[in-house]
Amino acid sequence: RIALADVADIRYEDGPPMIKTENARPNGWVFVDIDGRDLGSYVVEAQQAVADQLVLPAGYSLAWSGQYEYMERAKDRLSVVVPITLVIIMMLLYFSFRRVGEVLIIMLTLPLAMVGGLW
């Protein structure tokens, strides 16, 4: 039997309670609760402040995650889905009416309908 003290230097030191890893790299997390403000504008300002004041050494990286990450994914997905949906609606209207003029009249009223729906 070999005693642990014979092969290791055991001492108490301040540090994180555990080492977290992600993609086989040690990482640390910073949690922020935002109150009274929208998440998107806060993160944009925080990213700018961090970029201006922090230079990351080699081997370090920074990722903005959580609700902001989900919001960005949804925005990217909607930027593809909404135009495709509008094109499909226009095609269905054209197949129904067989006239481009009527399709355009219906489609041009959509912004007013959205304003009425939100108001």
Tens-digit pLDDT profile for residues 95-108? 999 999 999 999 99
- Name the residue range of residue 92's domain: 12-118
Asked whether residue 4 is domain-assigned, the answer is no
The answer as to whether 54 is a domain residue is yes
Domain assignment present for residue 21? The answer is yes
* pLDDT tens string 8-48: 888 888 877 777 888 888 888 888 888 888 999 999 999 99
Domain for residue 36, yes or no?
Answer: yes
Distance (Å, rounded) from C-alpha 72 to C-alpha 64?
10
In a domain, 3, yes or no: no
Q: How many domains is the chain built from? A: 1
Structure tokens that stand for 1 in this block:
């039997």
Residue 7 falls inside a structural domain: no
| Residue 84 located in a structural domain | yes
The answer as to whether 5 is a domain residue is: no
